Amino acid sequence: MYKLIVIGGGVQGATIATWLLHFHRIKEEDLLVIDPYEYPLHKWTATTRKIGMTYLRSPSVHHLAPEPYSLKKYAKEKDYSQAFRGHYKRPQLNMFNNHCYDLFQTVSLQNCWKQGWVSALQFHDARWQVKLSSNEWIEAENVVIAIGVNHQPSIPAWAESVREAVPQSVTHVFDENAPNAGMDSDAAVVVGGGLSAAHMAATLAHKATEPVTMIKRHPFRIEDFDSDPGWLGPKYLESYHKESSYKKRRQWIQHARHRGSVTKSMYAELRLLEQKNKLNIITDDVETAHHQNGNIFLNMKNTGEMIADHLFLATGAKAGLPGEGWLSTLIKEHELPCAPCGFPIVDQQLKWSKGLYVSGALAELEIGPVARNIAGARKAAERICKAFPVLEVRT
C-alpha cells in the first residue's frame, strides 16, 4: 500500500508530487502518480505544440519548481537566448518545458509513475482504493485528485453533426488523435476568440499559402493574464476567504476570470497578419454547418455563408466537474461536501475528506480564480505539503 496516490500527472499533479519529494514529505517508494500518458505534462506539451505557442502567458516566477527564481537561474545556467519576453518576463515555452523535465529528473518523479486511466475511487477498510480501467486496484492511505478539464473539450452544438460525419476535418485543439490533421489546409477556419484560438490562427497563417479565417463571437478582450494579479495575494483573497457563501465565491470566480481573452502582444500579431492578408478576422456567430463534397459550409448569423476544408475548434473545455463520471459516483457514495455549483468544499489544506485532497479546478472554491493555472498549482502544492510532516532525512 502506498502512502499517497496522486491522480493526474499534468501541471497540477506533477507540481504537487515534485514538491512533496523535494521537501521530504514523502519517500519515493511511498508515492504513486497515475496518469493516462507515459510521462508528465504530456497533455500540456501536446496542446501547446499543436497551437504553436512559443512563450507562456504567465510571468517567470510561475513554474513548477519550489524556488521562485529557479527558472531565471536555469535560463542563465543553460545560456538560453531570448529566454523571456516583455515587461512580465514571460518564459520561452521550450525552456520552461526543459526546466520541468530536469526538475522531474532531480526528484526521480518517473520512478513514481504509473500509466493508466482511473475509473473508480472508494474508501474502504480505512484506506483509499483506486480502480484503473484495466480492473487493477491500488491502495493508499491518502489520495490527491489532480485531474484537469482538457480531456472534456466543449464542442459547439452546430459543430457536433459535422464532427461526427467527417471527424478528420473537424478537430478541437484538445484532441490528440491525428495531431497534424488540417495543418496544411488551404481553407482553414479557427473558431474561438481566446488565446488558444489566437495561437492556432497565427500558427496556421504563418504557414498557409491562402488566408486563414478566425471566427470569434465577441470583440477581442485584451488582458495580460487569466485574472487580475491581485488574486494571487491578499489584495482580493483576504475578502474572498472571509466570504462564507460558496455561491458568492463562485460568482467572484466567474467575474474574475478573463475567459476568451488574448494578450497585447498576441493581439498585435493577429492584426499584423491581417494587414498582410494572411488572416481574416470575423466577429460573428455560426448558426449551422453542414458537409458536402469535401467542404464544410458555415452559415453565419450576419456575414452569410463561409466555406472551409478544415475546422479547428478552440472553444475551451466543458463546464462542470472533471472526472468523466467516476468523480460524481465518489461524491454520491461518500456524501462528500459540495457547494451549490457541485464543486468540492475543502479546508485550507485542500482536504475534502479523510486522506483525500484536491487541486486545480476542484480546489478553486478555496484557492480562487487562479486555481487552474500554474500559480494555482504552486498554491495547491504548498498547502498539501503542510498536511504531510517532514520526514527524517538520513545523511
Q: What is the pLDDT of residues 25-66, one digit of tens each?
A: 999 999 999 999 999 999 999 999 999 999 999 999 999 999
Mean pLDDT, range 146-153, rounded to an integer: 87
Express each pLDDT in 88-126 by its tens digit: 999 999 999 999 999 999 999 999 999 999 999 999 999
Residue 392 in this model has a pLDDT that exceeds 80: no
* Predicted local confidence at residue 321, as pLDDT: 86
Q: Which residues contact 267 (CB under 8 A, 6 or more apart)?
A: 198, 220, 222
pLDDT at 335: 96
Cα angle, residue 377 at apex, residues 371 and 381 outer, rounded to 5°: 120
State the pLDDT at residue 131. Answer: 97
Q: How is domain 157-223+258-313 classified at the CATH fold level?
A: FAD/NAD(P)-binding domain (3.50.50)
CB 152 within 8 A of CB 176: no
Per-residue pLDDT, 172: 94
Q: What is the pLDDT of residue 225?
A: 93
Which residues are bridge partners to 118 per DSSP?
132
pTM score: 0.95
Q: What is the pLDDT of residue 179?
A: 67
pLDDT band per the 50, 70, 90 thresholds, residue 180:
confident
The predicted structure's pLDDT at residue 354: 96
Summarised one tens digit per residue, pLDDT across range 195-228 is 999 999 999 999 999 999 999 999 999 999 999 9
Percent of the chain with pLDDT over 70: 98
271 pLDDT above the threshold of 90: yes
Per domain, the residue ranges of the chain are 2-151+319-385, 157-223+258-313
DSSP symbol at 55 = B
pLDDT tens-place string over residues 247-269: 999 999 999 999 999 999 999 99
- Are 121 and 130 contacting, i.e. CB atoms less than 8 angstroms apart? yes
Distances (CA, A) of 67 to 19, 63, 331: 10, 9, 35
* Architecture of the domain spanning 2-151+319-385: 3-Layer(bba) Sandwich (3.50)
Is there a shared CATH topology between the 2-151+319-385 domain and the 157-223+258-313 domain? Answer: yes
How many residues make up the chain in this entry? 395
Q: Residue 394's pLDDT band (boundaries 50, 70, 90)?
A: low
pLDDT at 152: 82
CA dist., res. 120 & res. 132, Å (int): 7
Confidence label for 349 from pLDDT (cuts 50, 70 and 90):
very high
Q: Note the pLDDT of residue 83.
A: 97
pLDDT at 372 over 80: yes
In the numeric block, the cell 475546422 is attached to 311
Question: What does DSSP assign to residue 344?
Answer: B
What confidence tens digit (pLDDT) does each residue in 294-347 have?
A: 889 999 999 889 999 999 999 998 888 887 689 999 999 999 999 999 999 999
Here the cell at position 208 is: 498557409
On average, the pLDDT of the chain sits at 94
